[in-house]
Copies of this chain bind each other. A is one copy, B any other.
Amino acid sequence: MSTAPQTRAATAARPLHPFDDALALEPAGEHRFLGRTTPEYWNMIGPFGGITAATLLQAALDHPQRLGDPVSLTVNFAGPIAEGPFEIEARPVRTNRSTQHWTLELRQGDAVATTATAMFAVRRETWACGEALMPEVPAAEALVAMNGFAPVRWLKSYDMRPVRGAKPTAEAGTEHPDSLTQFWLRDAPARTPDFAAVAAWADSFYPRIFLKRAGFVPAGTVSMTTYFHADAATLAALGDSHVLASAQAQVFRQGFFDQRAQLWSAGGELIASSHQIVYYKE
């Protein structure tokens, strides 16, 4: 891709994966990076929120002062992002012995479109325990990938294999008893995941109110927080296997609902947990 930084394009033995292309950032001075939207992750009227979250995280990952790996990421979708270039400021505001805190901002012109904070850490082996258990579902291989149920480009950049509630039901006006969605997920084309991929996956669910209310209403994520429970080696070991993605709301009230999401490896390890608060108009 001609707009990708030369360093990446030159070292790639094959064409850049569209996800890596979307994440390509050019250093532009201290704590500053330049990027641009790409068609493969376009949503209705702006980029897929997950790609914005991933790109902000990538700025910290690319930063020469980076310490360790992502543990938490909060992204606030403050305003629209237009097609084209944007600037990211990624500032390591505090670096401790084994942890590092980031403040990030995505701007177009003078407007702040997205803000974020992230915490990175050097992780080490400790006593461990997976208290939450993976839902019992059919294996990804037993299921068929669905076609994107909505006319948005970014859905074609994912292989989603529905287990339950993976698309809104068609009976508009009826109320679904719950807002639980589960599907197996990987990038399309397949790509070995990294932290940025997980940051994007965490936003791969359509708004819970579409399922609950069995229809489309104006809705959009305003803030999303993801906790990374797997280290880089664990993610790399996933290869091209799918992860089980699960999401459910707890409450819809006064124009906002929440969403609790989990991403599980096929082996039953909780890779990431994520939460978001979503605006809706109904």
Contacts and interface: CB of A to CB of B under 8 A. Distances in A.
Interface of A: 71-72, 74, 76, 78-79, 93-94, 96, 99, 101, 103, 105, 111-113, 115-117, 119, 121, 123-132, 175, 178-179, 212-213, 222-223, 225, 227, 229-231, 248-256, 258, 260, 262, 270, 273, 275, 277, 279-282
13 contacts: A71-B222, A76-B101, A76-B117, A78-B96, A79-B94, A121-B256, A130-B250, A130-B252, A131-B212, A132-B251, A250-B270, A260-B260, A260-B273
Nearest to A128: B253
A113 B101 CA distance: 10
B93 A112 contact: yes
Dominant secondary structure of chain A at its interface with chain B = strand
A111 B131 contact: no
A254 B129 contact: no
B254 A128 contact: yes
B94 A124 contact: no
Contacts of A128: 251-254
A166 to B, nearest CB: 18
A93 B117 contact: no
B123 A256 contact: yes
Contacts of A96: 78-79
Contact of A115 (B99, B101, B126, B175): B101
Contact of A124 (B124, B255, B262): B255
